[in-house]
Every structure is written in C-alpha cells, then in structure tokens.
C-alpha cells in the first residue's frame, strides 16, 4: 500500500514553489464528467464473485452502462434486461451494447477468475436536474437498481437549464414501490471529472461523492521519471492542494484534508477532502474549485454532489447495498 498522511485540519494556504514552471494554458473548455462508478456488489453469484457497474459519458452518442461479473465460470449477464427509469414514470429501453458478452480470461487457478461483460446504451434525456434508476434484471440471479444522481442523464454539452427547480432530494422510481428480496439498490460511489493538463505537465482528475456529506478526491498524475531519479515522483506535502464547493444559493462549503496517499507506482497522488455541511436547499447548479499550488480550476456541478443527503434517495433503505469505507476511499486501503 502507498504512503498515507491523515489530517483533521484544513489544508495549508496554497503557495508557489520557487522553481515552478510557467502557468499552464487555460483549458479550451470546462471539464465534463467522464464516468459514474457504482458501489461494487459482493458475492452476488456465489462466494468470491463480484458485480461492478459504471455509467460512461460517450459524448454525442449518449451513455453506456458497463457491467462486469467477476469470479464465475458462466456468463451470468447474457440475458440481462436493462432499463432506465425517470422521475415521471418514463421507462427508457436500452440499445444492445456491442461489447456485451465478451469473456476476459483471468488465468489458471483453483477457482474461476473469468470476467464477463454486459451493458447497454441510452440516449441523453431532457435538459433538467432529473435523477434516474437503471434497472439491471438478471432474473433468478437478482435485480439491481443503479442510482444515478440528479443532473447526470442530460446532455452535458447542452446549456444549463435556467428555470428554478423546486425539487429537493432524489426519489425512488415508481417501479420500485414493491421491492422484494431479489432487489438490490446500488448507490453511486463517485463521479469522475477528467480535468486534464495543469501546470508543470501534471494531470488532474477529480472524484466527487455525496453519501451524506460531500467528499472529493484530487488525483494528481505525472510521468516525468528519469534514469537515476527515484520512481516516486510525489511527496505528501508539495504541491499544496485545497478544494471548495460554491453553492447555487451563494454559500461556500470549505473542506478539511482527511488523507493524502501515494500509489505504489509513484506516479499518482490522491488527496481526500471532507466538506462542511450546508443548509437545506433545492436543486441547482453550483461549482467545484480545486487549487494546486495556488492555481485554481473551477467547473460546474449539480447540487446532488454537495447538498446534504442529496446524493441518494434513501440512505437507510433495507434493500440498499451496504456502503463501507472502501466504497468511497477505494479498496486499496482496506
């Protein structure tokens, strides 16, 4: 496991290193979300099996639901029925994913380690702050409801809606009124924003989650290793980083640095931030600001990523998949 530093106080004020390179050019466009990763489902098809799911932004082509079943010798996804449920009761049929049904061999061993892929394609929906539930019906093997936070089934290339949205928290879909033991609610783990190049040739990705209070992970990446130098390119103290969220109501949510860690390859550093809790709010568009050594990147985000409890319809639902610490911080640490 990589190095870890934990802190219970706010991050230090950003500063410039004396030898830092010139400012990076301004990005050509604001970063859009790249993918939504859902919490892994453990042992869905028997002991030591796993079901993982992602929702991927395909740009003008819409969205792709990617499913992977691990640890089973049979293709348990071959007859999956996938649908999207919207707040007004609309059910959107999926187009077949051409990558579905691919078997990825996991190598020899005493148990099956193959990976089976499945998935579906969906078009963008109306330009509003709507949540969605993606139903993955595997028949006798269970039915899984992937919770998509509001604001992520609209085309991210469209202009932001200007009308005030009086709705508050997300709701269960109408089709979920009578859930049984075969139903499982799968919350999202985080939304990935690929910021791209920042100063000094570094790369920045931002992972945002909101299980109750907002959480952010800044992933810094560099690959400028050289012969004769350590392959561990980062340290835990420099560059300095900070994160804040600007609410659509006008307030600012500051954050505490909870942890910094280095990956084992040495090229990536992850800084984790926990945000202060805001007051009650309706749905709207705020902003996220990440600062690295005094240089800030800001982009728009829906309030489902910062409003208190706005990231889930029902955090206490009996059919909800249990969310452990690794669901937010990652399995590398646990």
In this structure, the answer to whether residues 64 and 148 fall within a common structural domain is: yes
In this structure, the answer to whether residues 43 and 116 fall within a common structural domain is: yes
In this structure, the answer to whether residues 43 and 181 fall within a common structural domain is: yes
CA distances from 190 to 74, 96, 234, 242, 329 (A): 29, 25, 24, 19, 10
In this structure, the answer to whether residues 208 and 281 fall within a common structural domain is: yes
In this structure, the answer to whether residues 126 and 196 fall within a common structural domain is: no
In this structure, the answer to whether residues 156 and 295 fall within a common structural domain is: no
In this structure, the answer to whether residues 125 and 69 fall within a common structural domain is: yes
Is it the case that residue 102 has pLDDT exceeding 90? no
The whole-angstrom separation of Cα 297 and Cα 291 is 6
Residue 195 in domain: yes
Contact between 242 and 11 under an 8 Å Cβ cutoff? The reply is: yes
Is it the case that residue 46 has pLDDT exceeding 80? yes
Residue 108 in domain: yes
In this structure, the answer to whether residues 234 and 166 fall within a common structural domain is: no
At 51, which CATH number? 2.60.40
Q: Which has more confidence, 194 or 101?
A: 194
Sign of the Cα torsion 310, 329, 190, 276 reads: positive
The whole-angstrom separation of Cα 315 and Cα 309 is 8
Is it the case that residue 324 has pLDDT exceeding 90? no
104-136, pLDDT tens digit by residue? Answer: 555 444 444 578 888 899 999 999 999 999 999
Residue 274, domain extent: 191-313
Domain count, the chain: 2
Q: What's the rounded mean pLDDT across residues 206-225?
A: 93
In this structure, the answer to whether residues 158 and 246 fall within a common structural domain is: no
Residue 334 in domain: no
227-256, pLDDT tens digit by residue? Answer: 656 667 898 999 999 999 999 999 999 999
At 264, which CATH number? 2.60.40.2480
* Secondary element (H or E) of residue 328: helix 325-329
* Secondary element (H or E) of residue 30: none
Question: Which tokens sit at 204?
Answer: 């920045």
In this structure, the answer to whether residues 210 and 170 fall within a common structural domain is: no
Question: Which tokens sit at 236?
Answer: 């835990």
Residue 302 in domain: yes
Mean pLDDT of the chain: 85
DSSP 241-264: EEEEEE-TTS-EE-EEEEEEEE-T
Is it the case that residue 62 has pLDDT exceeding 90? yes
For the entire predicted model, the pTM comes to: 0.86
In this structure, the answer to whether residues 47 and 177 fall within a common structural domain is: yes
**So what's the pLDDT on residue 114?**
73
In this structure, the answer to whether residues 181 and 38 fall within a common structural domain is: yes
**So what's the pLDDT on residue 31?**
85
Residue 7 in domain: no
């Amino acid at each position: 496991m990589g190095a870890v530093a934990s802190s219970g106080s706010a991050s230090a004020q950003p500063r410039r290193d004396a030898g830092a390179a010139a400012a990076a050019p301004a990005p050509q466009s604001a970063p859009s979300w790249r993918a939504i990763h859902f919490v892994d489902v453990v042992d869905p098809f028997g002991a030591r099996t796993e079901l993982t799911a992602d929702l991927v932004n395909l740009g003008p082509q819409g969205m792709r639901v990617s499913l992977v079943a691990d640890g089973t010798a049979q293709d348990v996804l071959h007859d999956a029925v996938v649908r999207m449920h919207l707040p007004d009761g609309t059910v959107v049929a999926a187009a077949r994913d051409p990558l579905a049904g691919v078997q990825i061999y996991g190598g020899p061993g005493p148990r099956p380690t193959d990976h089976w892929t499945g998935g579906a394609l969906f078009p963008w929906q109306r330009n509003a702050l709507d949540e969605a539930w993606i139903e993955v019906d595997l028949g006798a093997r269970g039915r899984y409801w992937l919770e998509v936070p509001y604001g992520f089934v609209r085309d991210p290339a469209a202009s932001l809606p200007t009308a005030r949205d009086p709705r508050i928290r997300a709701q269960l879909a109408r089709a979920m009124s009578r859930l049984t033991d075969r139903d499982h609610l799968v919350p999202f783990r985080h939304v990935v924003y690929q910021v791209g190049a920042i100063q000094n040739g570094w790369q920045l990705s931002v992972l945002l989650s909101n299980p109750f209070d907002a959480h952010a992970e800044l992933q810094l990446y560099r690959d400028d290793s050289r012969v004769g130098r350590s392959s561990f390119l980062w340290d835990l103290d420099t560059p300095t980083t900070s994160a804040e969220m600007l609410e659509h109501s006008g307030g600012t949510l500051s954050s505490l640095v909870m942890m910094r860690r280095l990956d084992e390859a040495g090229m990536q550093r992850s800084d984790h931030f926990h945000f202060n809790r805001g007051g009650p709010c309706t749905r709207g568009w705020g902003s996220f600001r990440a600062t690295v050594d005094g240089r800030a990147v800001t982009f728009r985000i829906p309030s489902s990523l910062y409003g208190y409890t706005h990231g889930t319809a029902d955090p206490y639902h009996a059919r909800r998949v249990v969310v452990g610490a690794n669901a937010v911080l990652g399995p590398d640490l646990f």
